[in-house]
Amino acid sequence: MYRAKSLDEPGDAVVFDAHMHATAVQRLRLETDMRRAIDRGEFVIHYQPIVSLQTGQVLSFEALLRWQHPQRGLVSPNEFIGVAEETGMISELSWWILKTAATQTRRWQKLIPGNADLGISVNVTGALFCNENMADDLLSLLEECDLQPGYMHLEITERSFMDHQDAVLAELDKLKSAGVQLHVDDFGTGYSSLSYLKRYSYDTLKIDRSFIRDVTSMGDASAIVQAIVSLGQDLKMNIVAEGVENVEQVQLLRKMDCPEAQGYWFSRPLTREKAHQVLSQPLKLN
């Protein structure tokens, strides 16, 4: 049924075969393992630095969910996030990430000199905003973790916002009024509508890595990145370049006056212990 529904043509039929049976069994096993993983505490967070392109200082981290499976080792999010969304487990996981990341960020703010303004970015699905009292629950969570709302950055894709726009608008307004930062993830790959940028009052646009990958070619990608940076300046929004992997990209982004970046050039996602270490000194820019 799911295979038939995924096809472009309505009314198409699909015959259930051995391969589909194996896939269904594998999916059921994955779903069962995930439910056990939540109870057993197998999910962990890795932290990827977001740095200033002027100083190399770590300004915030992006919290990234990882699954440490007891038999399979580290399982890629690409393998289980889709199942979590379809089964509804994504909501429970999202709240766990928000609380864990907020608690850890507050510890770093208090323990490591010079990091009192450290922020944390968390990817959230638009469906999370459909939960009743989502904004109030998040603000209560931040109060419990002793983290000021301004240091919590919610990242959501343009498509997720569009799919749930009527349901999320009131919740976004509450969070925005309280100081929570709203970031558009993968900007440039979705609707990229200026009317939506104005309506939702975003704080940051994250340029999708597909543009950063080709930015040094000085072709369309370079022009698009420069346009997004200029747009951010005009609208008084912050800009983060995602997927920075070499010094040439860093140098060009600095010339474009892009304020922040993240990517493997600076650091891969880090365990909590290694993330603690990088907060003590600026990361390399050249």
* Integer Cα distance of 246 and 12 in angstroms: 46
Q: Does the pLDDT at position 89 exceed 60?
A: yes
How far, in Å, CA of 187 to CA of 237, rounded?
13
Task: Identify the pLDDT of residue 38.
Answer: 81
Most confidently modeled range among 9-13, 35-39, 236-240: 236-240
Residue 285 within any structural domain of the chain:
no
35 is in which domain, residue-wise? 1-40
Say if residue 113 is exposed, middle or buried (CB neighbours under 10 Å; 0-12, 13-18, 19+).
exposed
> Which of 243 and 187 is assigned the larger pLDDT?
243
In a shared domain, residues 175 and 72: yes
Residue 43's beta-bridge partner residues?
Answer: 67
CA-to-CA distance for 174 and 93, rounded, in angstroms? Answer: 22
Q: Are residues 16 and 63 in the same domain?
A: no
CA 242 to the chain's CA centroid: 11
Question: Would you say residue 286 lies in a domain?
Answer: no
115: in domain? yes
Q: For residues 223 and 113, state if they share a domain.
A: yes
Q: Which residues pair with 187 in a beta bridge?
A: 207
**Is residue 3 in a domain?**
yes
Q: What pLDDT digit, counting tens, does each position of 198-220 carry?
A: 666 789 999 999 899 988 886 78
pLDDT tens per residue, range 215-251: 888 678 899 899 999 999 998 999 999 999 999 999 9
Look at residue 283 and tell me if it is in a domain: no
Angle at 56 between CA 223 and CA 238, to 5 degrees: 50
Check residue 14 and give its pLDDT. Answer: 63
Q: What is the pTM of this model?
A: 0.87
Are both 113 and 230 inside the same structural domain? yes
Q: Are 109 and 34 members of one domain? A: no
**Nearest of 190, 170, 183 to residue 63 by alpha carbon:** 183
For residues 74 and 189, which has the higher predicted lDDT (pLDDT)? 74
Higher pLDDT, 173 or 57: 57
Q: Do residue 167 and residue 209 come from a single domain?
A: yes
What's the total number of domains in the chain?
A: 2
Distance (Å, rounded) from C-alpha 225 to C-alpha 211?
7
Residues 60 and 122 in one domain: yes
